[in-house]
Amino acid sequence: MLTIKDKEFWFIVGSQQLYGEEALLEVKAQAQTITDALNKSGALPYPIILKDLAINADQITNVMKEVNYRDEVAGVITWMHTFSPAKMWIRGTKLLQKPLLHLATQFNESIPWDTIDMDFMNLNQSAHGDREYGFINARLNKQNKIVVGYWGKSEVQRQIAEWMDVAAAYNESFNIKVARFGDNMRNVAVTDGDKIEAQIQFGWTVDYFAIGDLVQYVNAVKEEEIDALFAEYKDCYEFDYGNYSKEAWEASVRVQVSYEIAIKRFLDDGGYNAFTSNFEDLYGMKQLPGLAVQRLMGQGYGFAGEGDWKTAALDRLLKVMSHNQSTGFMEDYTYELAEGKEAILQSHMLEVDPTLASSKPKITVFPLDIGDREDPARLVFDGKAGDGIVVSMADFGTHFKLLINEVTAFEPTTSAPNLPVARVLWQVKPNFQDGVKAWIENGGGHHTVVSLNLTTDQIVSYAKLVGLDYIIIK
Ligand code: MN
């Protein structure tokens, strides 16, 4: 499973002493009402914890320090209930090393014209306080998120929820550890890059292992373990024996079962949550890991083929952000160029993520033309429909660059009886010609991560948090 430790967000409400104790008690009560309502709404993926009102510099500085060292706190949401002089926010805001959301809201939705007086105005002056506070965040170049609107509205809550997922992924980015079984595929350019810089900028640890290190784990898997896991497959998938005898088919699938057990054990022993393989480096392996990799992607491990550690780490990052819903490693394969039907067929030689499947996948065995190994088992399915984003990361020597293209995936209507891999089809925005051209022109790779669960805005929020150059094609 996708194991993310429990996260929470601290809600810090700004005010000042000027208004007196009675007003501050009311501010606090209203902040508590909002906190409780948001936590009970079911709209947010993580809980909000209301902290003491922020009314002086020392207190703000101390709470931000505490946010930094508490691993369970993924970020801070601030609300300027009244006017909170922003010089007192400077030190704490500068020290804050976690994502910040400025919620520009107000306790009451409408102005009560029948009863409004100066007491009400002084107590409910978010519009005033938002500008004072926002100025300091802008001047400090904080790259914080700003969500505007009445806190009770579902649209506002949706924006908070999406940002929370970005913030959780930002925190988890520093825990991403990629195990590479073998190096990059020989001669390929786009999958290479500066691993040290990636660790400095994104927090990713990328470690190399010889395939023999994994083979030792494979050889240690017990037959009983293979029996037990193979039995679980029967409930999850259709079994398609194709041209193979049941015995030959099962023998092939059982090799992949042993790979699933071994790779998972290897990764978990070393604290790795993403990995790469390379079909050129399979010494001691009977098959290229296919079904095994698909199963592990389904469980939330990041993956990319041919030693592509950047995409494997990005896959893990976006799986955390999306709660592993409809998000996975992908490769641009074949164009559909007929007028009005333009699309790109997405797949990989085996390893297509089953979180993108529109229905129950089938397990098939088929020869693999490359890699010079036995016929590997794999999951075959059609991808689901939906709007989403496709993202690739390239190393341009002086900086990393993220490409984001908005896409519309659709379910294929024509069968492909001779295609022994899963397939995903999508149209790119703004249209095929301009979208594809912009992707190529900007150096976007053929290895990507697609998500039908995330938005461009979320990817941009992450990119800003880590100072990552990005280009949006939409
Ligand atoms: Mn590939």
Query: 351 C-alpha vs ligand 1 centroid, how far in Å?
Result: 9
Q: List every span in the chain annotated with CATH 3.20.14.
A: 177-473
Query: 276 C-alpha vs ligand 1 centroid, how far in Å?
Result: 11
- Report residue 5's pLDDT band, with 50, 70 and 90 as the boundaries: confident
pLDDT in tens, 60-119: 999 999 999 999 999 999 999 999 999 999 999 999 999 999 999 999 999 999 999 999
Query: 393 C-alpha vs ligand 1 centroid, how far in Å?
Result: 14
pLDDT exceeds 90 at position 55: yes
Query: 305 C-alpha vs ligand 1 centroid, how far in Å?
Result: 5
Query: 409 C-alpha vs ligand 1 centroid, how far in Å?
Result: 20
In contact, 321 and 176? CB cutoff 8 Å: no
What's the pTM value of the predicted model, to 2 decimals? 0.97
In contact, 100 and 76? CB cutoff 8 Å: yes
Query: 78 C-alpha vs ligand 1 centroid, how far in Å?
Result: 43
Query: 446 C-alpha vs ligand 1 centroid, how far in Å?
Result: 7
What pLDDT score was predicted for residue 290? 97
Which region, left, alpha or beta, applies to residue 11 given φ > 0 means left and ψ of -120 to 50 means alpha? beta
Share of the chain above pLDDT 90, in %: 96
pLDDT in tens, 234-276: 999 999 999 999 999 999 999 999 999 999 999 999 999 999 9
C-beta neighbour count of 359 within 10 angstroms? 10
pLDDT in tens, 158-200: 999 999 999 999 999 999 999 999 999 999 999 999 999 999 9
In contact, 106 and 124? CB cutoff 8 Å: yes
Q: Starting at the edge strand that comes first in sequence, how are the strands of the sheet with 48-50 ordered?
A: 48-50, 8-14, 73-80, 100-104, 145-148
pLDDT in tens, 400-413: 999 999 999 999 99
Query: 423 C-alpha vs ligand 1 centroid, how far in Å?
Result: 14
- Report residue 288's pLDDT band, with 50, 70 and 90 as the boundaries: very high
Query: 177 C-alpha vs ligand 1 centroid, how far in Å?
Result: 20
Query: 22 C-alpha vs ligand 1 centroid, how far in Å?
Result: 64
In contact, 10 and 77? CB cutoff 8 Å: yes
- CATH class for the region spanning 8-173: alpha beta
Single out the residue of 403, 457, 400, 452 nearest to residue 166, CA to CA.
457
Query: 467 C-alpha vs ligand 1 centroid, how far in Å?
Result: 27
The reply to whether CATH 1.10.3470 applies to domain 177-473 is: no
Q: List every span in the chain annotated with CATH 3.40.50.10940.
A: 8-173
